[in-house]
Amino acid sequence: MKTFVGYARDAQLRHDATSGGVGSALLNCLFKNGQIETSLTFDFNPSTLRYSPRLIHRWNDYRPTGSIYQDMDLIGYLRAHLGEIRGRFACFCLPCQAASIRILLKDAGHDSILFGLVCSSQQTFAATERLLDLAKIRRADVGTLQYRGGGWPGGIRIGLKNGEEKFITNNGSIWTDIFHSRLCMPKRCLYCQNTFNDHADIALADPWLPEYLGRETPGLTFVVSHTPVGDRLLSAATDECVFEAVPEETVFRSQRRTLDRKAGYATHPWRRTVLNRMRAWKWYVRLVFSNPRWLKFHRKILSRCKL
Ligand SMILES: Cc1cc2nc3c(=O)[nH]c(=O)nc-3n(C[C@H](O)[C@H](O)[C@H](O)COP(=O)(O)OP(=O)(O)OC[C@H]3O[C@@H](n4cnc5c(N)ncnc54)[C@H](O)[C@@H]3O)c2cc1C
Ligand code: SF4
């Protein structure tokens, strides 16, 4: 593994992106150099409050949406739109999607370059619904919703139809409590050991370390190259990004809690059993999300029991 910390040279892109905008800038580089003909972007639909993927054939159609914390059927979408893919393809994906996307594209005769997002867990749409309920925002009033971006670590920006904007930070907020409650994540995340997106060419992560948190507000991305394709892309992207090599250990340390938690599910399967029980108790889930104080109490139980 080759590991770097970096950021997009385009200050606006860096600001709009999740971490340091490296992912978006690398995609720009691929389109600019004619190395790909097709990629994916995501659109938000204010009627359903859901994001959905859309194929694109030029950089100008790409939207830096930041990380999207709603489970999406990327593989189903690509399967349904295989006929619209031209030439070499690149996209962002979660660790549990990368191998299937690679095979799907290969079988259809397309080379692919995969930007893998490092992943602790995804959220079902219920997480967004819980957030709106707890923040007392009516679904019908939401015009735009972006989970990340606007500097780092940023937060959720909800644009209301009356022009008001609500901001919920990504750290120490009601959203953090929902995200880490483990009550809204897909069940498969309890069985997942792939954090660093091993099947992707390049993996991208937030620099969740004290030495970066609070210091670097414009944003930085940890970058891991898994393949020679990834190595070549990083060497070719010096016009778009700034990179500095960092020890592998630093990048691992930034995900230590996730790695330990996921490993703990495998070595102590009772933890999964307890979580699955909690998730199945409808009365319990209702109680936890009835009030921010119950949610905090639930997180204390998780922390005490190492769940
Ligand atoms: C569900 C989820 C969990 C994550 N967990 C962690 C974690 O535990 N630790 C960590 O360090 N980083 C995690 N990340 C990755 C991190 O949030 C950033 O995506 C990463 O740092 C890249 O930042 P960037 O600014 O370089 O990318 P950007 O320039 O912001 O580009 C990222 C692009 O990825 C695409 N994208 C966003 N969400 C999705 C999605 N759900 N599926 C497919 N494509 C998407 C969009 O096109 C977006 O513009 C997670 C991301 C997601 C979506
Ligand atoms: S934790 Fe694993 S299973 Fe869950 S979304 Fe992330 S990669 Fe997929």
CB of 58 sitting under 6 A from ligand 2: no
Q: Which atom of ligand 1 is nearest to the CA of 254?
A: 11
* DSSP annotation of 59: G
Question: Which residue out of 3, 9, 18, 175 has the highest number of ligand 1 atoms within 8 Å of its CB and is therefore the one to mutate?
Answer: 18
Phi, psi of 226 (to 5 degrees): -100, -20
Q: Is the CB of 93 under 6 A from ligand 1?
A: yes
Q: What is the pLDDT of residue 101?
A: 98
**Which position has the token pair 């936890």?**
288
Segments of the chain scoring below 70 in pLDDT: 216
What is the atom index within ligand 2 of the atom nearest the CA of 185? 4
Say yes or no: CB of residue 189 within 6 Å of ligand 1.
no
Q: Whose CA is nearest to atom 1 of ligand 2?
A: 121
The reported pLDDT for the residue numbered 253 is 97
Does the beta carbon of 189 lie inside 6 Å of ligand 2?
yes
Q: Is 23 in the pocket of ligand 1 (CB under 6 A)?
A: yes
Q: Is 153 in the pocket of ligand 1 (CB under 6 A)?
A: no
Q: What pLDDT was estimated at residue 216?
A: 67
What are the residue ranges spanned by the domains of the chain?
2-122+193-254, 125-184+258-302
**pLDDT the model gives residue 217:** 85
CATH class of the domain defined by 2-122+193-254: alpha beta
Q: Which atom, in ligand 2's list, is nearest to the CA of 192?
A: 2
Residue with CA at minimum distance from ligand 1 atom 1: 122
Find out whether the beta carbon of 204 lies less than 6 Å from any atom of ligand 1. yes
Q: Cβ contacts of residue 6 below 8 Å, gap of 6+?
A: 20, 22, 220, 221, 223, 241, 242, 243, 244
The pTM of the full predicted model, rounded to 2 decimals, is 0.97
Task: State how far the Cα of 90 lies from the Cα of 196, in Å rounded to an integer.
Answer: 18
